[in-house]
Every structure is written in structure tokens, then in C-alpha cells.
Structure 1
Amino acid sequence: MLGRFTVRPADDGSDGFGVWDGAVNGWRATGIGDEARAREVAADLDVQYDAHGPRAADAVRHVDPAQPVQRATWSTGELDVWVRDNGVWLGRFRDKDGQVTWVPGTDLRPL
């Protein structure tokens, strides 16, 4: 279940952000100073966990160093990890602005 972790504004009156875990209906991380960093934390948690708990070791493949790729939408960025979710391999795609999205492997190609 990609998207289990979402970024939300902090509920403690601060200007910070937190990462909400939709599977357990609770905060996974709080006190994060900026939204971009909170999105990084959420993406890292999506790599580690699926809807039922920790991902199986054979369902994650790290790309080290990150590889430049192109999406089917003709945008370029970096791929740094693959996860298998519901039988489909998805790549964590980071665009030039640092935004992270999960893209099906069929929509990615190396540059």
C-alpha cells in the first residue's frame, strides 16, 4: 500500500509537519521543520513498510548510486529504489525540484 504514509501539518500548534500512518491511524513522525523533509521521511517509510507491516526483503531493490531516468511524461529525474507493491514494480522517482512520486517501472527508462 504505497501512500500509507502522508504528510500533514503538525497538530500541536507549531509550524512544523508530521508523517501520518494511515494503517494504524497515528503519527509516525512529528516535529519535522519543513514539508519537503517530511515528504522524504514519508517516502522512506513507504519503502520500508506496506499495508501489513515490514516489506519483504525481496520486494525492495535499492539503486546505488541513484540512476538518472526519464518518465513517460518526458520529465527527467533520479531513481533510487524499486519496491514491489501488489505485484507491480514501482520506482521512487525524484524530479529536479526534489518532489518524490512512485512510478510504474513500465513508465521509466534510463537516460
Structure 2
Amino acid sequence: MLGRFTVRPADDGSDRFGVWDSAVNGWRATGIDDEKRAHDLASDLDVQYDAHSPRPPDAIRHVDPAQQVQRAAWSTGELDVWIRDNGEWLGRVRDENGHITWIPGANLQLA
């Protein structure tokens, strides 16, 4: 279940953000000042957990240092981790603005 964790505006009327855990239907984190930081946290949690529990260690491959890659759309980004989700390897790629996209491995190539 990629996307188990989503960023939502805080429900307390503030300008802050939180990370919602769809598997338990509740907040995983609240009071985050920066929306980008909230998205980073949600993505890090998606690396660690699938729909039911922590991902097995053999389902995660960190790329250190992160590598430049090209997507099939021929845009570039930085790959920093692989996860196996529903039998498919997905790479977490950040674009030049820091936005995160999960891309199937078959759609990536080194830049």
C-alpha cells in the first residue's frame, strides 16, 4: 500500500500540517510547520511500512550516495531508496524542487 501516509492540513485551525496514517485512520505526526518536511516524513514512513506492518529488510534498498536518474518522461531527479511493493520495485525520486515521486524501476535509468 504505497501512499499509506498522506499529508493533510492540521485540524486545529493552524497553518501547520500533519501526516495521516490511512491504515489506522489516524494521525502519525502533527504540528509540522513546513509542508515539504511533512511530505518528506510521509515518504520516509512509506519506505518503512507497507499496508500492514514494517516492510521486511529485503524489501528496501537504500542508494548511498543518491544517484541522478532519468525517468521515461526524460526528466531528471535523485534516487535515494528502492522499495518492493506488491511485487514491484519502486524508486523514490526527488525532482529539483524536492518533490517526491515513486517510480517503477522499469521506468528509470541512470542519468
User: Secondary structure of 2:38's partner?
Assistant: helix
User: Secondary structure of 2:39's partner?
Assistant: helix
Structure 2, unaligned runs of 5 or more: none
Alignment of 1:20-35 (within 5 A): 20-35=20-35
Residue 4 of structure 2 is aligned to residue 4 of structure 1: yes
- Greater percentage in strand: 1
Residue 57 of structure 2 is aligned to residue 57 of structure 1: yes
Moved >4 Å (runs of 4+): none
Normalized against structure 2, the TM-score is what? Answer: 0.99
Of all paired residues, the percent bearing the same amino acid is 76
Which one-letter code corresponds to 1:89 in the other structure?
W
Provide the C-alpha distance between the structure 1 equivalents of 2:6 and 2:101, rounded to a whole number of angstroms.
Answer: 12
Cα deviation, residue 14, structure 1: 1.0
Cα deviation, residue 83, structure 1: 0.1
Which one-letter code corresponds to 2:104 in the other structure?
P
Cα deviation, residue 58, structure 1: 0.3
Number of corresponding residues? 111
Task: Tell me the C-alpha RMSD between the 2 structures.
Answer: 0.4
Alignment of 1:42-53 (within 5 A): 42-53=42-53
Cα deviation, residue 12, structure 1: 1.1
Normalized against structure 1, the TM-score is what? Answer: 0.99
Q: What do the CA deviations read for 1:27-63 (whole angstroms, capped 9, x no partner)?
A: 0010100111100000000000000110000000000
Structure 1, unaligned runs of 5 or more: none
